[in-house]
Amino acid sequence: MKKAIVIGSTGMVGTQLIQVLLENKEYSEVVSLVRRSSGVKHPKLSEFCIDFDLPESWKNLVTGDVLFSTLGTTISQAKIKENQFKVDFTYQYSVAEIAAKNGVSHYVLVSSAGANSKSNTFYMNMKGKLEEAIQSLPFEVISILRPGQLDGDRIEKRFGEKVGLKVMVLLNKLGFFLRYKPIQARLVAKAMINAAKKKNSKTYALEKVVELAKEKIHN
């Protein structure tokens, strides 16, 4: 029986990940660190509302077998790049660093297709830098997933995101931007759980994320 730690539980992938983990008999306990309550109640779930800027107040909670990281925001929500960087890089790295120090052996990160620390695009550059920083930490196994555009239900509605998905589907049909092809958030969640079973560190591009998601999850 495993204990999972999850950050980003109220996002599109995070909400699906929590559901799949709670259904999975391999996990006896799920610790969710959130900035606002998800409202989810379950005997296996321990949810803590924390301030990521105050690690001393929550670092003792980051113990278990696997850390799943789905935390992230958009520039429209963050308003400025500095705020987005704090959520997408600083907070995620801070939790990962503490998890590694606390003896968590496996780390699973949802990154992004196109992540590259040398990219001139702020978002892709940030994601690439996070990947590199995470890979310097002493986890036994690090799994990085690079899905395409995420599709599914969110707690908060994002009109621009829905329009973007429709545009991306059209471009994909024309043969463009195929590595950004939309993928259902629940498939990414399943892929994360299957990635946590692997014994070797690996970065999974979109097609490999889909393959991972199709592997049987034993409940």
pLDDT at site 148: 86
Residue 172 lies in a domain: no
pLDDT digits (tens, 9 = 90+) for 148-184: 888 655 445 454 555 554 444 444 544 544 455 668 9
Is residue 91's pLDDT more than 70?
yes
Average pLDDT score over residue span 200-217? 90
Looking up residue 38, the CATH number of its domain turns out to be 3.40.50.720
160 located within any domain:
no
For residue 219, being part of any structural domain is answered with no
Instruction: Tell me whether residue 197 is in a domain.
Output: yes
How many domains does the structure of the chain reveal?
Answer: 1
* Domain interval for residue 13: 2-153+183-214
Average pLDDT, the chain: 89
- At residue 72, does pLDDT exceed 60? yes
Tell me, what's the pLDDT at 143?
Answer: 98
Q: Which two tokens stand for residue 53?
A: 């800027």
The answer to whether residue 173 sits within a structural domain is no
Give the integer Cα–Cα distance in Å for 196 and 182: 23
Distance CA 217, CA 94 (A): 30
| DSSP strand pairing (106-110 vs 66-69) | parallel
What are 95-135's pLDDT values in tens digits? 999 999 999 999 999 999 999 999 999 999 999 999 999 99
